[in-house]
Amino acid sequence: MYFLRFLVAGLVCAATSVAAEPVKLDSVFNIDEVIFVKQPGNSVVTGTASIKLADGTVKNCAGFNVELLPVAAYAKERIVRTYGNDQQGQILLEQNPPKFTPDVPEYHDTLIKGACDERGAFRFSNVPAGDYFVMVFIIWEDTSGATPRKTGGAAMKRIHVSAHSQVEAHIDGGRSAE
């Protein structure tokens, strides 16, 4: 009986602590697809963001990071492999979000970075025209258990920004489509 309990405990521990191997991407990062993001822009993107946790609790992005990621083949493949589509969605840390290879540093340099305010709202000014993924990361340290662990997740929504426009984006992990 002791061996059986030891075996079950070992399997549970292995299942919860082994990270998946990085996902090999087929797309190649091409800076020419996203160089527009480095040009001066004249548009504004505003909105709110939240995720729905496994227990049904909704947590907004107050104090957390939000990013505009220009749409390109490399970015789109990462998004689809993470969220299952390229329109909107969310993934919780418990769902073991993928890591990618290659993880091109220049890809991360094309992000327009910001943060949500205390109300869970964000604003980006001087955004160049183009297609973007709005991504929010609501991840924190959960200290309620015996061992602190990171919890939360990320949500994404695809938007189009025209020159001289104001775009409002509400990212709720796709719950509004439910």
pLDDT at 10: 36
pLDDT confidence tier of residue 173, bands split at 50, 70 and 90: confident
pLDDT(39) > 80: yes
Is 132 or 172 the better-scoring residue by pLDDT?
132
Q: How far is CA 54 from CA 26, 51, 90, 91, 96, in A?
A: 31, 10, 11, 10, 13
pLDDT at 6: 33
pLDDT at 102: 87
pLDDT confidence tier of residue 176, bands split at 50, 70 and 90: low
Return the amino acid letter for 5. Answer: R
pLDDT at 174: 67
- Mean pLDDT calculated for residue range 112-140: 97
- Mean pLDDT calculated for residue range 17-33: 84
Buried b (16+ CB within 10 A) or exposed e, 13-45: eeeeeeeeeeeebeeebeeebbeebeeebebbb
pLDDT at 19: 54
Q: Which fold has domain 21-177?
A: Immunoglobulin-like (2.60.40)
> Over the stretch 55-69, which tens digit does the pLDDT of each residue have?
999 999 999 999 999
pLDDT(13) > 90: no
pLDDT at 175: 66
